[in-house]
Structure 1
Amino acid sequence: EAEVGWQEKLFSQFEVDLYQNESACQTPLDWQYHEEILKLEKAGGRKNYRIFTYTDHDRFTNLEEHCQKVTDSDHEVPSYLAERMANVRRRRQDRRPVEASSLKSKIITWEPSEEFIKNNHVINTPVQTMYIMGDLGPYGKLGHREYEHVLCTIKVDGNGVITVKPDFTGTKGAYRNELDGEKREVWKYTIENASVQLQPEEEESEQHMFRGLYSRHKEYLSGLVGSEFETVTAEVHYLFSVSAQGYEYDNLYVHFFLELPNQWSSPAFQQLSGVTQTCATKTVGWENVAYFCYPFTLEICDLLPFLADSLPQWPVLYFEVLSLDFWQRYRVEGYGSLVLPASPGLHMLTIPTWRPVELGTVAELRRFFIGGSPELEDITYVRIPSTFKGERLSRFGFRTETTGSVTFRLYCLQQSKAFLETSALRQRVRSVLDRLGGFSQQSSVYNVLEAFQRARRRMQEARESLPQDLISTSASTVHQSQEP
């Protein structure tokens, strides 16, 4: 057993034999190890012969980081990128702090040096490394480099993140090291987290300190950004899964894209188009169905405020179904479109599709033997083309044929501050269209009705609080004044 501290040096038998000889000492670090080994020998020698360490300053650490392999092959040839990346030193970057004045004047480096390029073309976080090694040689033959094995690698970066590789064993069992040789010795070892657990009072004070730090940082960021921005009106999230059925050919795949109206936007990372994998069909009942098992999500946010007197347009999902045969020939099987549902929850929507056709037998022969078929140049022609600006759209002469159908199973999640109004609005308005389309008219009508109800209740309370004789006297007086 050996208790090892962070960056604590434990010498191996090879290093003891090496650094005892003064002729092998070349660098100041070698001379320091030479003196430490002499003191250690005078004090009685090492207490542990199997476990030793390589610290951040040792040559082994530099070589290990420089010669890392991408694969586990013994005949791996490093690529050009691996060779270039090996020259980037992420450890012990001696960077002097840059003052604010010089930072503003040197935003762009017009003539970068080789060292500057090596240090800045990747994320260069300073890292300190330590290796805990094991000398697994047979008894009496310690100190051979081929028997040195890395038991654990510990790295600490400049952000304070500690990386332990391999991980703590826990309930996974011990790690194994099998040696090559006649006896095929197997060594087992475990790595346990022996840190002292925090007391509940210390943990609570630490959490309180973190909360205070985060709140101050949040206030600092909000102070930099300011409050002169419009809040997000709504966020709509969709989760899809697709299946297709009733098509002529097998091995189907679906190409889709989402068209956003003018009032809508999406995050920069959101992809609004995609292609599913090719899926073979299976017989379900009387139809051949392809279950793609291809879930994809759509996130639509940062909506601009809608006009109260107009109904907002909703995003449309356009899709086309295609087939791929053994000879890599593809055929268009159908086009369709889906207006995304406005109400939250689970929706099962089956959309029938169609494809354009040509008259005559030659077109069908070409489709069967060669592949390919008439295609839409603009897929938005399924509904109203995005480039159409007129009042009437004529499709006279455009021949189509009904094909199969695509079933969408989608989940809709909506978030908006407009949904958190009064309880009366929450009870009467269910969909986001009702929220955003007629919100102002409905709120004004509800306000008038509530004001009327409040006035009526006050009148009833005032009438009940009056004395009964006063009410009867006033009623008889009114009755007498009505008589002729």
Structure 2
Amino acid sequence: MNDFSRQNKITGVYWLKGSVENIKIRVKLKPIDGLISLPKLEEFTSTPNMIRSEIQEHTFIWQEKSFCIRELQQYANVHNCITDTELTYHNMITNSNYEPSNVFTYIHDDYHLPLPNNVKTNKSGIFDLSFCMSMLKLNENARSIQQSSSMGHLFRSEENVDCDEEQWAAMHVMLDNSEYNGDSQLLLKQEITLVSIYHNKINNYLIMSPDVNDLEGNSYAVDTALGVPLGYEYSIEVDFEEMGNSEELTTLLRKLLKRWEKKQKYLMTFSMPPLDKKQYCISLDILSATDFDMDDLYIEYNIKIPETMSCNGDLHGRTHTSKALGTHNTQEWNFGYIIELDLEMPVDLDPPSLQIFFEVISTDWWGRHRTEGYSYLPLTLDIGCYRKQLTCSRPEESDRVQGESRRFFVGGCHLIKDLEVLAQPQLQDTKFVFTTIGTLSIQWNIISQTHIPRADYTPLPSTSTASAVLLGAEAVLRQYRKARARLAAATKDLTGSRKDGDGDG
């Protein structure tokens, strides 16, 4: 559960292309400590809208009126109804069997909270501090409070609504946490706003406070006006699928998809490998190095491929220079250098291994380059993703004093003339020995592509001119062979009869 999301509720804005009448607002309410009933509602658990399961779900359409217990008690008595809206609610309750709900709604005609345009802004869209201070004048009359103050809804009625508010319509989903006695009479009124939705009729957009969220990932907490938690969490969802513009939007998306597919058809052409070839794509990443003596390291690599392979890519290169991170005892050099190779070989041969040689080199302020270590990787062409730690070793002269002096003053000397000695230690020269030092961390990915034709495969004309000429020549040769066979079959009988006639004469 995300505590930040529960305590810091944000506001969302949604632009509409169609009517707002068909949207659905879905509120899910769940007790934090498990299956419990809402406070002070034990007397009404027999009604269908009360909590009977761990999660209760309430769905409302735009401007749908739902009543709590207090409203049913109030509007059921016609003597409590004065305004036209209250009389309408009385008729609704009288003509229909409305059940009380702990989650109910205030619609626009209830004038529950001030609308967004009650707070004026300056031209730049930033709230004017002088205007806010003017709202604190305590000697203004009730009429001016109605026009500008956030307390204006206390003085509002259907007769004195500001004409500017015609561009807004509001709806509020509430939670009834009031206290009632055994006769369902109100003892203490306590209503918590779960979500407020404002619709701008001119520009056709919604403002939701708070915004939609997820009950499992970032639920909102139900708190009183004083910030006291009630032990519940809830989520908000808005369904736009049944809006009138859904068909128009679907048609637009299909047209965009066709245009995208048509464009990608020319931009992303996949080239199949030849029928007699197999291709390998290798991506090797030199990640990091650890436990070396000197700083400012870079890595040179040399790759040897078998003669049966052809390669598209750099077989020799070097990384950038990296500085050590961490403490003196645990130093690490990060590289993140990627080597990409495209290999091709005959399809009827087993893939041989590649030989990859790494040389770790350090630099200093004097421009000296020292070999810190070598490593060797026999890379088998097995499809998959792999990661490995390579141990590095450094050749040192038999005379350690002379070797260390030469290494300090001039950076040492290249004792290894041929890197093949790393793959075949028996070729090692006895004039130097190897000392293990440092490790390299690498990972690589290998994929393979082979063109296997189907039984009904018919070769398509290639874009290559040479391939087109070859295919044409093969077609002409096949036709010539067929014609020659038909000619031989047709003249076979003729040749036999001619020989018979000669014999008779």
Please give the TM-score of this superposition, normalised by the length of structure 2.
0.34
The structure that is strand-richer by fraction is: 2
The structure that is helix-richer by fraction is: 1
Q: Which gives a bigger RCO, structure 1 or 2 (Cα 8 Å, sep 6+)?
A: 2
Please give the TM-score of this superposition, normalised by the length of structure 1.
0.36
